[in-house]
Structure 1
Amino acid sequence: MNKGLIKFFLDLGPLLIFFYFYKKHGMIYAIMPLIIATIISVFFVYRIDKKIPTIPVLGAIIVTAFGGLTLLFDNKIFFYMKPTIVNLIFAVILLYGEIILKKPLLKNLFEGSIKMTDEGWNILNRRWLYFFIFLALLNEIIWRTQSEEFWVQFKVFGLIPITVIFTIMQVSLIQKYRIDQ
């Protein structure tokens, strides 16, 4: 099995474990298995890549923090707001790069695998910035207006497909501004 596919399942695994425990026992009882599965997943990504995986580690810290707050205070709002806060943090980071540093931070992250003109990086950076804001707003609307069951379904089975579709939609931009080597 290829490394990319294994890492995809390691990313998806904790969510599926969360969903399983949620269906069996409810949200509060699903959070601790999610935290444990996320930490285990990060460990396996580390073993595969032989380096500390920055984004998965950050994700594990955030899941542990918000899951821990939810359990500590017995208040699901912390967990509901986690996707909102995470997406807003990503948006602010990209905005900071654009306004303060005057450079698209996505270029630093993906320059090793994607070669594009600066104009292409600026457009891609802005699209992701708006997309993160969109996801934050969408999460807020859903958790505040829908049932817990609907929010969990959205979190587990909605966010990933929405993100994959958005990512695929960026391929034409990448191809348009690609630099041939």
Structure 2
Amino acid sequence: MNFEENPVSQTETTTKQGTSMLVDFGPIGVWIVVYNLSRMFFGDAAIYIGTGAYMIAAVIGLGYAIRVEKRFPPMLIFTTVIVLGMGTIGIILQDPIFLYLKPTIINLFYSFLILVSVALGHNVWKVFFASVFNLPEEAWTMLAVRWALWFQFLALLNEAMWRHITDSVVPESARWFAEFEISEAFWANAKLGVMVISLIFAALQMPLLLKYQRAEDDGGGDAGEAA
């Protein structure tokens, strides 16, 4: 009986995980598709059209997560708020700089939120993922600091890219490196690359998670092996 139920349970779990990933990362896919299609027909207005589509997709995704999946993802909520706020300002003022800055602001907020929470003894990373992993405090701290540093890296990466966009309104005084030049399209499509390397970074944390998860589940099995 259990043998027959396990495949169904596994399928349901896989489906839920796949849906959650689609909700979390789907808006990025919408942004890339709409931006590139708009670029072919509307030129410089593509960034505003793509941003509008991203805003709509983000709201739909958040609504689906809350109403259908019955989950309240704090990071997704904050990201959606920033996307709506910065996107609205950028579209109304017709100033793409606000849109270029958005990833920097989001990533720096995540980083400082994590570091401040760890410093205050209330690890927000543990609050977010305690239902998924059962880890000792030292592992939660290591995991949180790693992600905080990763978010800082992503913020720095975004700054390095948007400041060197040469086919937009970015002033030359904003550049860090005189010889480095990219197009707005490169910056826009780089979101896909950022998503991929972030997933790779998350996968690289698995040894840490498995090590401490295993140690706790085994009730000190590592200590017995060492003896």
* Equivalent position amino acid for 2:163 in 1: R
Match of 2:189 among 146, 149, 153: 153
Q: Which has the higher contact order (CA 8 A, sep 6+)?
A: 1
Q: Tell me which residue corresponds to 2:16.
A: 3
> How many Å separate the matches in 2 of 1:111 and 1:7?
17
Report matched runs for 1:15-26 at 5 Å.
15-25=28-38, 26=46
Distance in 2 of aligned mates of 1:159 and 1:20:
16
**Do the aligned partners of 1:119 and 1:177 also contact (CA within 8 Å) in 2?**
no
Query: Is the 1:70–1:76 Cα contact (8 Å) retained in structure 2?
Result: yes
Distance 2:123 2:33 in 1: 39
Q: Rg larger in 1 or in 2?
A: 2
Partner of 1:173: 208
Shift of 1:59: 1.9
What are the superposed Cα offsets for residues 106-149 of structure 1, whole Å, 9 maximum, x if unpaired? Answer: 11221121111111111111111111111100111111122111
Aligned equivalents of 2:95 and 2:194: distance in 1? 22
Please identify runs of 4+ aligned residues in structure 1 that moved more than 6 A: none
Q: Deviations over 1:12-60 (max 9, x none)?
A: 3222222222112211121111111111111112232224443322222
* RMSD, matched Cα: 1.6
Alignment of 1:41-80 (within 5 A): 41-80=61-100
Pick the aligned partner of 2:163 from 144, 149, 155.
144
- The aligned counterpart of 2:137 is 118
Aligned to 1:94: 114
Count of aligned residue pairs for this structure pair: 179
Aligned identity (percent) is 31
Secondary structure of the 2:68 match is helix
Q: Distance in 1 between matches of 2:73 and 2:121?
A: 26
8 Å Cα contact 1:3/1:48 also seen in 2: no
Q: Unpaired segments of 5 or more residues in structure 2?
A: 1-11, 39-45, 165-181, 220-227
Paired residue secondary structure (2:77): helix
Determine if contact 1:97/1:104 at 8 Å carries over to the other structure. Answer: yes
Q: What amino acid sits opposite 2:107 in the alignment?
A: N
